[in-house]
Structure formats: C-alpha cells, structure tokens
Structure 1
Amino acid sequence: MEIKPGTLEDYRITIRLYIKPHIGKTKLQAVRPSTITKLYRDLLARGGRGGKPLSVSTVVHTHAILRRAFRDAVEVHEYLSSSPVDKAKRPRGDWREPGMIWTPAQLRTFLALARSHRLFAFFHLAAYTGARRGELLNLRWPDVDLGGKQITIKGSTGVVDGEHIEGTTKSGRTRVVTIDDGTVAVLRKHREAQDAEKLRGGESWKGEEDGHVFTTAWGGAIYPTTVTALPGKLIKAYNEPEDKDQAPVHPLPYVRLHDLRHIHATTLLLAGVPVHIVATRLGHADPAITLRVYAHVIRSAETAAAEIFARALE
C-alpha cells in the first residue's frame, strides 16, 4: 500500500503485516468491507507459513488489530469517514469458558507473592479492575483520579513487529472504572516508588512528566511479554522453592495474566453484581458478550436464585 498524506501512516506496521500482501498498492480510502472479508478468507485458507491455513482465533485477533487501527483512523486522525473493518464479515470464534479461576484466597496468596516486585501495582490493578494488559500499559497518571477513586481507560498499547503501537481500547470506547481505598493506597505507594526511580535516574530517565503509570526502572515502555511472563515465574518460585521443606501444602495452580481479568469478573458475578455493571467494568461493548463468556458463572448464580427468592419472602 502506498503510504501517502491522508493515508494511515501511523499504522504502517499493521498495514504491512495484514493488508499490503493481500491488496497490493490499493489506497487506504479504497479499502472496502469486501476487501477485508476476502482478507480473512485468504488468511483462513493459506495465511500461515508455507501457505498453511491460520486458525480462526488468529484471524479473529487480526480482526481486532485492524478494527482498532481503522477506528483510530476515523475517530482520532479523521483520515476516513467510516471504518470498512466494522462492516466486514469476520470469522466466528468459539466462545470458550475461562479455564482455571482462582479462589479469592488463591488470589490473595499470589498478590502477597507479587508485593515485593516493583510491578506489584500492575497485578493488583489488573485483579481489582479487570482491565486488559494493553490498557494498563497504556494508562497515564492524568487518567488516575486517586481522590475520586477511579481510573479512565482511554486506549491500549501493544507491540507489532518489535515496535510499540498505541491505539483505542478493544471496544473503541473510553471507560471509567472505580477503585477501592486499598487500590488507591497501592497506586499512591507505586507513584512514590516511581518518583524515587526518576530521581535516581536523573537525565537518563526516559519517561515523560505525568507519563505512563507502569514503566521500566529507567522510565521506558514495558514490553507486554514482561508482565505476561512474570506471574508464571512467581508461581513457580512459590510452588518449587529451593528448600523443599518450605514447599506449600496447597500449591498455586498456574494461570495466565489474562485470567486475573476472569477472576475479577467471576467474583463480581458470583457476588450478585448485575451483568451490565460487570460488562461496563470489563469494557465489553455489549453485555451479551459478558453473558456468553461467563455463562457458566451465571448458570451457577441462577441455580441459587429460587432459594434466594424463597428466603426473601420468609
């Protein structure tokens, strides 16, 4: 694709990886929903290495990346009047229920393990807000209102072809998520620690004033894989200590970083928080998405509904 004024130069990496091989030098404004739909069919048929098919989940992920990039082209840069990706027919992925979900006690154990790490606040905020990895890595201090006990999630950060790319949230919308007093205290302490790192770094500090909430020790951007890999390392160190006599009676099950989001949603739903409130906190564009993903949790709550109603009348 020709990258000219008026086209999506800010997303040159996304274009090169996902669009250019399939539509050649077509100008961005000429891309139609049918073009994107054909791209998905091609990826499913022969988009992998050596012309092998790509999985549905991979193509769905590609759709999410393109949707975010084109929405920014419409809403932020105003390169386009509408996004062709929104009208394209993407492959339907299977809605799978979340896998391992920790109990509240297991989550407390993990957060206790992470407390001594400089990124403890990241994992605490992930568990207590249900925010996505990229959303937290994109979070800036001006978007954190400690007095009002809320954070505003405006976008997401990812890495494509080795470069950091910032865009909108997965739904394309900004959302406000409330936080509790304990989380406010965690964030205050995190900012104090970051200010101390900034003083030690001096001129070598790479971060901006009132920049990202979560950075490296020298103020640089954190690679998503860093925070993704850390929970597994902490859990392994807990489950398999050097002194075998210190091994826990009840080892922590291994979970992914993204499962902290599932723990947040599941805990709220089992506590009786309405689905539409949980959907808002998670940033789901439609509560129907929450219903599908957490159907097993909602079924569990439904089982108890009759007894709850009977006790209320008693």
Structure 2
Amino acid sequence: MAEAVVYAHTQNARTVAQVLTEHVDLLVKPTSQTIRNYRNMIEDHIQPHIGGVAVTQLDIRHLTGWVRAMQEKKLAPKTIRNVHGLISAGMETAIRLGYRPDNPCRGVALPTTEHAEDKEQFLTWDEWELLYRNLNPLWQPLALFLVMSGARFGEATAVKVGDFAQVRADGGVTWVVRINKSWKRDGANAYYIAQPKTASSKRSVSIPPMVVEALKPAMEGVSGDTLVFRTSTGGRVAQKYLWNAWQEAMEKARAEDPTFHKTPRLHDLRHTSASWGLQGGLSLYEVARRLGHSSTATTERVYAHLMHSSHTKGAAVFGKMGKQLEA
C-alpha cells in the first residue's frame, strides 16, 4: 500500500480520498446529515488507511487489507459494510468520470452482519399483554401504536393528529393513519421532520379502534398539525425515554412470570406487528405495504417462516397433485 501512496504523490494522481470527496459533492438527494456522515466515514475510516492510494492503483489487495484493519479497530460488521458501500459507490463515480475502467470493490469479501443477538424477537399476544400491563401508563399509547401499526420509531413519533382519518371499507368504517414522514437530523445534528427516502415508505395503515381510543387524550382539543406523541413542550419524543420504560417493564414482567425470558428491543414491536399480520392471514404483499418495504423480498426473508398457513396450503396442494398422478 505504501508504494501506491508514493505513486499517487509522485505522479500527482487523484487519490481514493479525493475521488470519494468528489463523489459526495456530486450527490443530489442525500440530506445534510447523510453528507455529514459520509464525510466522517472518509475522514475516520478511509483516509488513514487507503485514502492516499491513487484511485487508479486501488485493487482487491488494498481493500482486503482495509477490511482487516476495520475489524482490528473493532468496527461493527454493518459499519464496515456501510463504509465499503461508500467506497464502491465512489468507484462507480470514478468510472463515469473516466478515472479508472472498473470497480475494484466488486467481489471483496465482507464480514457477515448476522449474529445471534441481532435476531428478531417476536412476541406472542400473551407476552405482549404481560409487557404492556407492566409498562408505565405514560408510554403505553406509544408502545401500542408501534405494535399495532408496525411503524418505525422515527415514523411513529412524527405522526400528527391530522394524519388520522376514517375511511369506508368492506361495508364498514375503518381508522387509518397516514405515515409519510419521519424524524431526521441535519448537518448540525439537529432534528427535523422530513419525507422518507423511498416512495414505498409513504403509506396508509389501518389500525384497530382500541389504538384510537388510547390516543384520544393526546388528540382531542388540538390542531391537526400537532404531534400525537410529544413532550410537555410539544416537541420530539426521544427513543431513550421509551426504552428506559420498556426495560423496566421487562424486569417487572420477568418478576411476574419467571418463564418469560425474551429481551425484545423496541424495533421488535415492528417485527411482532408483521408476525401477527402474517399469522392472522395477511399476505406478504399486504404486510410489506404496512411496513413500507419497497418489495416483498425483505418481508419474505425475515418473516416467511411464520406463514404457517402457507405451509399447510402447500402441503394440501402438492398432496392433491400426488393423488392425481397416482390415479
């Protein structure tokens, strides 16, 4: 790698860091926070290792060495993959700008992000009720909304009173909530509400009346532009407050029922929502729409094993076919 750095210096060639910086400067859609994150990646994880390498000389040896260096720094596999993604995107820009003919990032072995402790945890209805009744009543409405809507925390806490509406469906009236925004951070690390990155994240989700009843105290007598979940001053609710209350609820739940050993994260309420939908008969497509997934591929990868009814139907169909062949 030292030779490549010397080459870049003596030949006045464009370096990896310079090209990545140029790549970031050419981006149009990312928010100021995303741009800030990319620049921090370049400064912290790329510049000290392969940033000085001439972009024309970068190859799989440099990148493999970089991966090992990141592992030695104890970076999480997901972080390594994210930074590698930035390098790869930068190399695609380098190709378009004529700096090099190919992308050396393709085919580089990366650490797996699958860990036992990261596996999704799904709650049964009884487990949910156990946790819910042990949760501080102040936070029960938000937890209920999360598990019944499948919304992400940043989406749920950006929902406003005017996002709720009643619609006619199947001969009756159903409550729906429009999820079309989320909390984000700008270049100064300040929070603001903005539209989601993808069109599929904008969606209307039906919710049962019990959720609306739980939210009524926060929704009555205020304008439609008011946050449903808000602080005493009307501002953003930080996730850490619900998480602290959730941890206390888990401790109380385990004291009440020693057989309860799960340690669900707040994000597992989203997973639980999806699992209830699938086990209740919703299709993969319907669950994907509720979650805001761009396709059913992600939904199927995470939740397909919960579709017990599909296994039963599959067995019945193929069993019928087998009988026909025997005849």
TM-score range, shorter chain: 0.5 to 0.7
Identity %: 22
Give 3-state SS (helix, strand or coil) of 1:273's partner: coil
Alignment correspondent of 2:313: 305
Assess if the C-alpha contact under 8 Å between 1:106 and 1:252 holds in 2.
Answer: no
CA distance in structure 2 between the partners assigned to 1:303 and 1:52 by the alignment: 45
Alignment correspondent of 2:161: 141
Query: Residue 233 in 1 paired to residue 248 in 2?
Result: yes
Aligned length: 256
Change (3 A) 1:23 1:271: same
Q: CA deviation at 1:20?
A: 5.1
Change (3 A) 1:159 1:227: farther
Alignment correspondent of 1:169: 196
2:276 counterpart letter in structure 1: T
Change (3 A) 1:167 1:56: farther
Assess if the C-alpha contact under 8 Å between 2:164 and 2:176 holds in 1.
Answer: yes
CA distance in structure 2 between the partners assigned to 1:124 and 1:228 by the alignment: 14
2:297 pairs with one of 281, 288, 291: 288
1:14 pairs with one of 37, 40, 57: 37
Query: Residue 184 in 1 paired to residue 184 in 2?
Result: no
Alignment correspondent of 2:286: 277
- Extract unaligned runs of 5+ from structure 2: 1-20, 48-57, 87-104, 168-173, 321-327
CA distance in structure 2 between the partners assigned to 1:305 and 1:167 by the alignment: 43
After superposition, the C-alpha distances for 1:21-80 in whole angstroms (9 at most, x for unaligned) are 5788xxxxxxxxxx9xxxx989744447xx62533323456799x8xxxxxxxxxxxxxx
Q: CA deviation at 1:294?
A: 1.2
Query: Residue 155 in 1 paired to residue 185 in 2?
Result: no
Assess if the C-alpha contact under 8 Å between 1:44 and 1:54 holds in 2.
Answer: no
1:138 counterpart letter in structure 2: A
Q: CA deviation at 1:287?
A: 0.3
Query: Residue 223 in 1 paired to residue 238 in 2?
Result: yes
Assess if the C-alpha contact under 8 Å between 1:146 and 1:184 holds in 2.
Answer: no
State how 1:1-314 maps to structure 2 within 5 Å: 10-11=32-33, 13-19=36-42, 21=44, 44-47=67-70, 52=73, 54-59=75-80, 93-94=113-114, 98-114=119-135, 117-145=137-165, 149-158=175-184, 163-164=190-191, 166-169=193-196, 171=198, 173=200, 174-192=202-220, 210-240=225-255, 247-248=256-257, 250-251=259-260, 253-298=262-307, 300-305=308-313
CA distance in structure 1 between the partners assigned to 2:213 and 2:231 by the alignment: 21
CA distance in structure 2 between the partners assigned to 1:223 and 1:231 by the alignment: 13
- Extract unaligned runs of 5+ from structure 1: 25-34, 67-87, 196-207, 241-246
Structure 1 stretch displaced more, 287-296 or 8-17: 8-17
Assess if the C-alpha contact under 8 Å between 1:45 and 1:53 holds in 2.
Answer: no
| Structure index of larger Rg | 2
- Normalised TM-score (structure 2): 0.61
CA distance in structure 2 between the partners assigned to 1:239 and 1:94 by the alignment: 27
1:111 counterpart letter in structure 2: Y
Change (3 A) 1:46 1:119: same
Q: CA deviation at 1:288?
A: 1.1
